[in-house]
Structure 1
Amino acid sequence: MEHLIGTQHPPHRLTDPAETITVLEAAVPGLLRHRRTAPEPPDWARIEGALGLRLPPDFRLLAELYPTFVLAGFLHVPLPAPAHESRWLDGVDHELEIVRDWWEDGSSIGLSPHPAPGGLLPWASSYSGDVFLWTTDEPWRVTVASRNLEWWHYSGGAVQFVAEWVSGGLEPWALPELGAAVQVFR
């Protein structure tokens, strides 16, 4: 049976996208060598039109500066890239199918999938079956659905969440510690 553990709050919620990237790069120094020399925005109008909402600025900037990456052989952060928007949207649709299944069988702690108002929208996953989502009511927050059906929230953004998880500033409820080893997929 699913279980809501609680909500963690960052000491200071970062709202400047550039600041969140700087904090992530400090937590994951190996990531910096994969940073693009200039931002390469995917077709945000296409992506956000398909989703029916605007993605958070920290995530948008992360996608413009970095390719898809995996941390510590565990956390997979797929990022939309120019000319590959459909592939990213297909991945989101695949993860949304899982969220819809949870909703239908009552395992989603009462949170409905996107496109419901405030619905859950996946942004990352683990190779162990954990799913990292946004709860899309304002302000957006991270919602973690662990493979053990233990759920919890983080009241900051996705990029800050990853940075704090790696740096140890976050209690990884129902998740392992996350190292900074990075693998990039272009």
Structure 2
Amino acid sequence: MTDDLIGTQAPTRRITDPEVAVAALERAVPGLAGHRRSEPAVVDWAVIEDGLGTALPADYKRLAEWYPTFALGDFLLVALPEPGEEHRLLRGIRYDLEGVVREWWEAGMSIGLRPHPAPGGLLPWAESDEGDKFLWSTSGDVPEQWLVTVASRNGGWWNYEGGAVQFLAEYCDGTLEPWALPPVRTDVTLC
């Protein structure tokens, strides 16, 4: 990895309604809706949020209530909590924070961004099978203001000024320029 921040992309309009963000993702990934739960899952968000010391963005939470963990194109894994298994997701996030993200910071490869719980610290929410990480930069008064930060295995770091679910939708529908990332196929695999 290099220490270069490629830049920041902004959506034409930031989607603030979690249901609208999920609907945009379902449009961008037509096969996703077939895996939608008939009723939203009841996730104990307090387990995860108390364990992390921060609330999480509403769009991510809404996605997790409607969908189990899934992969896009056998490339991008979106890990979501299952009811009663929230501690597993928390363990995975902590592992990433204590391992990869902290190692990047200690090695000077994180472009100066520190891991959560540092102010504005990086908090992982997805990853690719090739070592790319999708994180939140936790700056802002509320989680809905957080930027998505992409840490490509190819060394490119960049930000997206929208939520995680909108990022996924725009990455899949081609609206987003996939700097340092390959195009993603939109076939869905439940994990």
Please indicate the TM-score interval, normalised by the length of the shorter structure: over 0.9
Q: Could you list the runs of 5+ residues in structure 1 that have no partner in the other structure?
A: none
Which residue identity does 1:90 align to in structure 2?
Answer: R
1:143 pairs with one of 144, 149, 167: 149
Q: Is residue 111 of structure 1 aligned with residue 117 of structure 2?
A: no
SS in 2 for 1:29: coil
Higher mean C-alpha deviation, range 168-177 or range 40-49: 40-49
Shift of 1:91: 1.0
Q: Which residue of 2 aligns with 1:178?
A: 184
Match of 1:130 among 129, 132, 143: 132
Three-state SS of the structure 1 residue aligned to 2:101 is helix
Structure 2, gaps ≥5 residues long: none
Q: What is the identity percentage for the equivalent residue pairs of Structure 1 and Structure 2?
A: 58
Cross-structure match for 1:25: 26
Match for 2:176: what amino acid? L
The 2-side partners of 1:41 and 1:57 are apart by: 14
CA apart distance, 1:86: 1.2
What is the CA RMSD across the aligned residues, in angstroms? 0.7
Distance, in Å, in 2 between the alignment partners of 1:72 and 1:83 is 28
Displacement of 1:41 = 2.4
The Cα shift of 1:2 comes to: 2.3
Runs of 4+ in 1 over 6 A off after TM superposition: none
Residue matched to 1:77: 78
Show the 5 A alignment for 1:38-53.
Answer: 38-53=39-54
Match of 1:165 among 146, 168, 171: 171
**CA offset digits 1:45-103 (Å, max 9, x no partner):** 11100011110000000000000000011000000111111111111112112000001
Give the TM-score of the pair, scaled to structure 2.
Answer: 0.95
Which whole-Å deviations, capped at 9, do the CAs of 1:125-182 have from their partners, x for residues lacking one?
0000000000011120100000022100000000000000000000000000111100
Q: Contact 1:41–1:63 (CA<8 Å) still a contact in 2?
A: no
Distance in 1, matches of 2:47 and 2:126, equals 20
Letter in 1 for 2:119: P
Q: TM-score, normalised by structure 1?
A: 0.98
